[in-house]
Amino acid sequence: MAKTIVVRTGTPAKQPRGAKSEAVVGAKARAIAKSEPVAAKKKDGKTRNPLAPERVAAILDALRKTYPGVVCALNHRGAWELTVATILSAQCTDVRVNLVTPALFKAFPTPKAMAAASLPELEELIRTTGFFRNKAKSIQGAARVVVEKFGGKVPQTMEEILTLPGVARKTGNVVLGSWFNIAVGVVVDTHVMRLSRRLELAGTTPGSTAPEKVERDLMKIIPQDRWIAFSHELIHHGRQICVARKPKCVDCTLERLCNSRDKTWSSH
């Protein structure tokens, strides 16, 4: 198992603004793509050596250039708010969560306040995020554990944070990485899962598509000091360019490195 390290990336942003700029398009995107090597194709939809260190490095290079300084898209002012927002983001868009959380945190600004809230009050405030009854139980349960077991502070280890109701490795990685700058693993959400498969980095064989397995496979090939940023970069890329049904390959800075079968445009 990889050793936990703290990535020194500066003071955590207290109100993330999402990517610093929109995804590059047109000529700028193609200019970045041209600075990276072409990934040789083995056959349609398959790269000759998808996990070659130089290809992985080129993908990381292109993502870093495309999304410099990218941060978590969930608005938050602390570890507790980020924990709650990430729990609410399950089966829900970050945009919707960001619309709901201001009123929620105004009504119940601390774990102690949320622990003492009634479930109907919580349910009403988060109703539009979907699965609101289960989510209300989770965030209230997490609040109680944080108050009773951790003195009102979100813990800073994966082992401890996983004891909070509603928190699995994805949420743990989001909170530890985005707020505490602690690189324990790689956030694997739907975008990271989908793009990892398209880029043939993980999840491409039977039995390898479980989020935990995809995370382990990515941790083997991505340098640990890039785990946090890589997740954010891939998530933003999946939302803006490499969309599910019709990827915008003509505007993709990874285009020359990708041999996915469902590409919509190719320069090589």
Q: What is the pLDDT of residues 123-177, one digit of tens each?
A: 999 999 999 999 999 999 999 999 999 999 999 999 999 999 999 999 999 999 9
- Residue 125 has φ and ψ, to the nearest 5°, of -70, -25
> Could you read off the pLDDT of 59-117 as tens digits, one per residue?
999 999 999 999 999 999 999 999 999 999 999 999 999 999 999 999 999 999 999 99
What pLDDT is recorded for position 11? 37
**Do residues 237 and 198 make contact, with C-beta atoms less than 8 angstroms apart?**
no
What pLDDT is recorded for position 34? 86
Q: How far apart are CA 70 and CA 138, in angstroms?
A: 28
- pLDDT tier at 199, thresholds 50, 70, 90: very high
Q: What is the mean pLDDT of the chain?
A: 90
The two most distant CA atoms of the chain are separated, in Å, by 60
Report whether pLDDT(193) > 70.
yes
The 3-state secondary structure of 64-130 reads HHHCCCCCCCCCCCCHHHHHHHHHHCCCCCHHHHHHHHHHHHHHCCCHHHHHHCCHHHHHHHHHHHC
Q: Tell me what the mean pLDDT of segment 213-234 comes to.
A: 97
Report whether pLDDT(15) > 80.
no
Share of the chain above pLDDT 70, in %: 90
What pLDDT is recorded for position 26? 64
Domains detected in the chain: 23-71+190-257 (1.10.1670.10), 79-178 (1.10.340.30)
Report whether pLDDT(10) > 60.
no
One-letter identity of residue 249: C
**pTM (predicted TM-score):** 0.86
Residues recognised as catalytic? 170, 189
Extended strands (E) in the chain: 5-6, 41-43, 46-47, 182-183
Q: Which residue has the higher pLDDT, 60 or 13?
A: 60
- pLDDT tier at 12, thresholds 50, 70, 90: very low
